[in-house]
Each structure stands twice: as C-alpha cells, then as structure tokens.
Structure 1
Amino acid sequence: MSPLTFFKCLADDTRLKALLLINLKQELCVCELQAALQLSQPKVSRHLAALRQCELLEAERRGKWMYYRLAPSLPQWAVDVLSATARSNAPYLKACLKTLDDYGC
C-alpha cells in the first residue's frame, strides 16, 4: 500500500474516526460504530465498505452484524500511524469512546 492511497482513504472524518476506533478496540461491529459515530447504519456501512475497498479493514459476518478489524495485510508503518494518531488525539475521539463505553463495549 502506498502512503498516498492510505491517506486518501482517511481523508474523511467518518472513515478516520471509524478506523481509529477499530484500531483502539481491535474489533467493532456496525451497531457499535453506529452508536459511537451517531450515524445511521447505511451511512456507517458505506464508509466501512470504502475502507474495505482500500484494504484497510476486513470484515466477518456474525448473525446479522458485520464485525470489522484492521486488515492483517496492513503495513506496519500504517498500523503505527493509526496507533500514534489515536493515542495522541484523545479529544478527537473522546465523545465516541464515551458512547462506546456506555454502549457496553
């Protein structure tokens, strides 16, 4: 994966937050991301599909929900960027993480 492709895929607030939350929590389902991002299921699913198309995420169906985690093929430099971004920008994710905690994640 090229840096250009990686950063283009993250050039949207919803996609960036979703990816950072998945990075922090290791795995999240659509319903958890809906709650955290306070968006509708179709909107969340559309952004997750874009992240899958960029090969940043992989998904697994369990019952009626899809669960998302970072793609194992993601280069280590990209994982490091995501981890550092999530750790260093707590205010950016604060409301989303509180909602996830309240949701029971």
Structure 2
Amino acid sequence: MDLEKQAKIYKALSEENRLRIIGILQTEKKCACEILDYLEISQSTLSHHMKILCECGLVECQKKEKWSYYNLSKDMTDEIIESLQSLFKKKERR
C-alpha cells in the first residue's frame, strides 16, 4: 500500500464517530438505520462519514432497493494491519 493510500485511511480513522462505525461493523453487515441506532448523529452526518469510509476502501456498501447495507472490507482491513506492522517494524541499524 502506498503512502498516499495509507494517509487517506488513517485520516478516515482519525474521527471518533468513524471509529465507532468501524466497531459497529466488526460483527456483521448493518443497514444505515441500524448504525444510526448506535450513534447520536443525524442521517446526513452518517452519510458523510460512510462516504469517507467507503472512498478509502475500509467499508463496502451494497444497495438493496432504498436501503444501504454496510460491511467492513476484509481485504482492506488485512492490508491496513500489514501496513501498520511494517510501519512499526524494527529495522536493523547499520
């Protein structure tokens, strides 16, 4: 993962409500209305946060009729874990 992509993801994760949303989606796919039940924000604010999380690839959206269902991207979460591990991996000093 390149640094620009990493920065976009870390920026998305730097907001408290987006971290809450990630936590909510850890267990299963949820409808936007279900996510709202956990947060004290408006529907338009949720839409803004979901747009950011989807644009950076952390969250995937599936639309069924008038409903939007969200889930974490397994591939992206694995990639983020790997990038964090490599970022903080001790390197040999010469």
SS of the equivalent of 2:49 reads: helix
| Unmatched segments (≥5 aa) in structure 2 | 83-94
TM-score after normalising by structure 2: 0.71
Structure 1 residue 73 displacement after superposition: 3.0
Q: Alpha carbons of 1:13 and 1:78: their partners in 2 closer, same or farther (altered >3 Å)?
A: same
Displaced runs of 4 or more, over 6 A: none
Q: Distance in 2 between matches of 1:3 and 1:63?
A: 33
Match of 1:69 in 2: 71
Query: What's the counterpart of residue 99 of structure 1?
Result: none
Over alpha carbons, which structure has the higher Rg? 2
Contact 2:30/2:69 (<8 A) preserved = yes
Q: Write out aligned runs for 1:23-102 (5 A).
A: 23=26, 25-76=27-78, 78=80
Structure 1 residues without counterparts, runs of 5 or longer: 81-105
More helix by share: 1
**Aligned residue-pair number:** 79
2:49 partner amino acid: H
The share of aligned pairs that are identical, in percent, is 28
Amino acid at match of 2:15: D
Q: TM-score, normalised by structure 1?
A: 0.64
